[in-house]
Amino acid sequence: GAGVSQSPSNKVTEKGKDVELRCDPISGHTALYWYRQSLGQGLEFLIYFQGNSAPDKSGLPSDRFSAERTGGSVSTLTIQRTQQEDSAVYLCASSPSSYNSPLHFGNGTRLTVT
């Protein structure tokens, strides 16, 4: 079946512009995660959605970052007034509701801020 889909795969933007990154999770998966992968930094947790519960936003690095999940499915990560340090690969993952379910990752969006 279809996996986690992220778009665009690559995004180049100018400093100060806003960007939106999209994630389509696997159908039926109630949990959705965003991670950021910077060179040499591993995977940094950003935000986590689980069903209708309030999202865990504890990993968002600043108020320029926000995310929403509409209808319990598609999610959009928005970065306002982008900075060069925002350049990274943004990975989305989804999983079924149970806590011991592994994550299924998309291929990521590579964001470059010039």
Partner 1 sequence: AQSVTQPDIHITVSEGASLELRCNYSYGATPYLFWYVQSPGQGLQLLLKYFSGDTLVQGIKGFEAEFKRSQSSFNLRKPSVHWSDAAEYFCAVGKGTGTASKLTFGTGTRLQVTL
List residues near partner 1 by CB under 8 A: 4, 31, 33, 35, 40-43, 45, 48, 50, 56, 59, 91, 93, 95, 97-108
Q: How far apart, in whole angstroms, are the C-alpha atoms of residue 12 and residue 96?
A: 32
74 by Cβ neighbours in 10 Å (0-12 / 13-18 / 19+) ranks as middle
Report phi then psi at 72, rounded to 5.
70, 15
User: Of 1 and 14, which has the nearer Cβ to partner 1?
Assistant: 1
Instruction: Please state the closest distance from residue 53 (CB atom) to partner 1, in A.
Output: 8
Instruction: Please state the closest distance from residue 95 (CB atom) to partner 1, in A.
Output: 7
Instruction: Please state the closest distance from residue 70 (CB atom) to partner 1, in A.
Output: 20
Question: Which residue is it, tokens 């930094």?
Answer: 41
